[in-house]
C-alpha cells in the first residue's frame, strides 16, 4: 500500500471531521408570525382602546403591528411594537415561553398590562401610560429599561402625545421603579430614539447609567439613576456617513440618513477600569468607541468640546455592514451586529484588530432573516435576534400568508464556532 496516499487520506478525513465539528451553529428559530395577534384581539375582535377621533381609529389593525425589539428575562420575552400605524393594542408586550407551546403565531400580552399601553381618548397625555417603544434592555439587576418616545408616527397624523420618558420596571414585581421625563432642553420630540443601553455593575444596582441614542438629532443622551438627571453629548461621529446611506434589502433600494443608532458596552480595562462603549450610526459601516467614564461625566458633557478627542473612530466593518442594533458578549469578548443590508448577524472578536478581515458572519439568511432589527444578550448569556422585513412593510407590501416576523436565539460561543470570531 502506498503509505503516502494513506497518510493523505487520513489527513483529509481528519480535516473533514474538524471542519464539521467547527462549523458555526446557526441561530435557532424560536417563534414566527405571519401577522401579530394579541390576546385582546383574539378574544375581542372589535377591541378598541379609548375613543380617539374618527379620522384616526384605534381599531385593531393586524398589518400595522410590526415587532421591532426583543429582550429575554427568565422565560419571558419582551417584544416591542412601536406605534407607526393606528390600531396597536400594546406597544410593549410579553410572551410567557413557559406556557407557549407552538412556535407559530404565539399570542402577545400587554406589559405590564393593557391599561398601561392603552391610548387615552383624544390622545390625551398621561404619565401612567406608554405611547410608543422601539427597543428594551434587561439589566443584571432584574430591571427592564426602555424609552417611551411619546410620539405617534402615523403617516397621516403624526403627533407628540406627551414628553418622551425613560421607564425602569422591576421584573420581579412588574412594578414601575422610575419614570424620568426627558427635558425639552435635551430634545424637542421623541421621534428618533431607537433604543437604550444600560451600564451597571451587579453589586451597584442604584449606580446605573442609561445611554440613549438619537438618530434624528445625532445626539447621545445619558441618564444617571442615582442623580436622576440627564445630560447630552454631541459629536460629528454621531452622524451618518453619506456614502453608506444607500440600502438594498429584499430587492428594494432606498436611502436613509439615520445617525447614531446603537451602543454596546465591552470588557473592563484592568488598567484604567473603564469599559469601552461601542457605537455606530445606522447609515454607516464604521464603529466608534468612547470610554464609559467619559459618558458618565455630566460635568464633561456640559463643558462643550472638551470631550471631542475621547470619541475615537475604531474603523470600518466592511462593505454592506450597515447595522441596526449590536450587543457585546462578556464571556467570548465578541461583538454581534444585526446587519440589515446583508440579512445577517455579523461578529467581531474584541481581542483582534478592528479590521474588515477580522469580521465574520454567524448567520445569514436572505429568505427568513430579512432585516434583523434587534440583537440582545440576556443575563444567562443567550443571544436573541428579531427580524421583521421592515423595508418591505414600508416600501412595498408584506405577503400575510407567509411568515414575516421571527425571533431567534443561540449561545454566542456556539454561534461563533468555526468563524474568525473564535479567536481568543
Read off the pLDDT of residues 260-315 as tens digits, 9 standing for 90 and up: 999 999 999 999 999 999 999 999 999 999 999 999 999 999 987 789 999 999 99
Task: Return the C-alpha cell found at 85.
Answer: 400605524
Read off the pLDDT of residues 324-371 as tens digits, 9 standing for 90 and up: 999 999 999 999 999 999 999 999 999 999 999 999 999 999 999 999
Task: Return the C-alpha cell found at 389.
Answer: 422585513
Q: Please, what is the average pLDDT of the chain?
A: 91
Read off the pLDDT of residues 122-171 as tens digits, 9 standing for 90 and up: 999 999 999 999 999 999 999 999 999 999 999 999 999 999 999 999 99
Query: Which residue shows C-alpha cell 439587576?
Result: 141
Task: Return the C-alpha cell found at 151.
Answer: 410620539
Distance of alpha carbon 88 from alpha carbon 154, whole angstroms: 11
Q: For the chain, give every domain's residue range.
A: 23-422
Burial of 160 (0-12, 13-18, 19+ CB in 10 A): middle
Burial of 120 (0-12, 13-18, 19+ CB in 10 A): middle
pLDDT value of residue 17? 36
Burial of 365 (0-12, 13-18, 19+ CB in 10 A): middle
Give 24's pLDDT tier (boundaries 50, 70, 90).
low
Q: ∠ CA(271), CA(277), CA(278), 5° rounding?
A: 125
Distance of alpha carbon 218 from alpha carbon 193, whole angstroms: 10
Q: Quick check: 400 and 18 in contact, CB under 8 A?
A: no
Cα 398 to Cα 44, 68, 107, 405, distances in angstroms: 25, 15, 20, 10
Q: Is the pTM of this model over 0.85?
A: yes
The residues with which 346 forms a beta bridge, in sequence order, are 337, 361
Please report which residue ranges of 378-422 form alpha helices under DSSP H. Answer: 390-395, 412-415
Per DSSP, the residues of 173-184 read TTEEEEEEEPPT
Query: What is the CATH superfamily name and number for domain 23-422?
Result: TolB, C-terminal domain (2.120.10.30)
Read off the pLDDT of residues 189-239 as tens digits, 9 standing for 90 and up: 999 999 999 999 999 999 999 999 999 999 999 999 999 999 999 999 999
Task: Return the C-alpha cell found at 63.
Answer: 398589518
Amino acid at each position: 500500500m502506498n503509505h503516502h496516499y494513506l497518510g493523505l487520506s487520513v489527513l483529509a478525513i481528519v480535516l473533514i471531521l474538524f471542519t464539521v465539528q467547527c462549523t458555526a451553529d446557526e441561530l435557532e428559530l424560536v417563534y414566527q408570525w405571519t401577522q401579530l395577534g394579541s390576546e385582546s384581539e383574539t378574544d375581542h375582535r372589535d377591541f378598541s382602546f379609548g375613543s380617539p377621533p374618527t379620522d384616526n381609529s384605534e381599531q385593531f389593525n393586524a398589518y400595522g403591528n410590526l415587532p421591532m425589539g426583543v429582550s429575554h428575562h427568565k422565560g419571558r420575552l419582551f417584544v416591542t411594537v412601536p406605534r407607526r400605524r393606528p390600531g396597536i393594542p400594546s406597544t410593549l408586550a410579553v410572551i410567557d415561553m413557559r406556557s407557549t407551546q407552538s412556535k407559530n403565531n404565539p399570542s402577545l400580552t400587554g406589559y405590564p398590562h393593557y391599561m398601561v399601553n392603552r391610548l387615552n381618548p383624544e390622545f390625551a397625555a398621561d404619565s401612567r401610560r406608554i405611547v410608543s417603544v422601539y427597543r428594551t434592555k434587561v439589566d443584571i439587576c432584574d430591571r427592564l429599561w426602555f424609552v417611551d418616545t411619546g410620539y405617534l408616527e402615523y403617516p397621516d397624523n403624526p403627533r407628540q402625545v406627551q414628553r418622551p420618558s425613560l421607564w425602569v420596571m422591576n421584573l420581579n414585581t412588574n412594578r414601575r421603579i422610575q419614570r424620568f421625563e426627558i427635558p425639552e432642553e435635551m430634545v424637542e420630540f421623541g421621534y428618533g430614539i431607537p433604543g437604550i443601553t444600560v451600564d451597571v455593575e451587579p453589586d451597584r444596582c442604584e449606580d446605573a447609567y442609561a445611554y440613549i441614542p438619537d438618530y434624528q438629532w445625532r445626539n447621545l443622551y445619558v441618564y444617571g439613576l442615582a442623580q436622576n438627571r440627564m445630560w447630552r453629548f454631541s459629536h460629528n461621529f454621531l452622524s451618518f456617513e453619506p456614502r453608506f446611506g444607500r440600502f438594498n434589502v429584499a430587492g428594494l433600494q432606498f436611502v436613509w440618513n439615520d445617525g447614531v443608532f446603537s451602543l454596546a458596552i465591552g470588557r473592563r480595562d484592568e488598567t484604567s477600569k473603564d469599559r469601552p462603549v461601542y457605537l455606530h450610526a445606522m447609515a454607516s459601516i464604521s464603529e466608534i468607541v468612547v470610554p464609559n467614564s467619559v459618558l458618565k461625566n455630566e460635568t464633561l458633557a456640559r463643558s462643550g468640546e472638551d470631550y471631542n478627542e475621547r470619541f475615537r473612530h475604531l474603523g470600518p466593518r466592511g462593505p454592506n455592514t450597515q447595522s441596526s442594533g449590536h450587543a457585546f458578549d462578556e464571556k467570548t469578548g465578541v461583538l454581534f451586529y444585526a446587519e440589515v443590508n446583508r440579512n445577517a448577524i455579523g461578529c467581531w472578536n474584541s481581542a483582534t484588530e478592528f479590521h474588515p478581515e477580522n469580521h465574520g458572519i454567524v448567520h445569514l439568511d436572505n429568505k427568513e432573516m430579512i432585516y434583523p432589527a434587534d440583537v440582545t444578550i440576556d443575563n444567562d448569556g443567550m443571544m436573541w435576534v428579531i427580524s421583521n422585513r421592515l423595508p418591505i412593510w414600508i416600501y412595498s407590501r408584506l405577503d400575510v400568508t407567509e411568515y414575516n416576523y421571527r425571533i431567534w436565539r443561540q449561545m454566542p460561543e456556539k454561534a461563533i464556532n468555526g468563524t474568525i470570531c473564535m479567536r481568543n
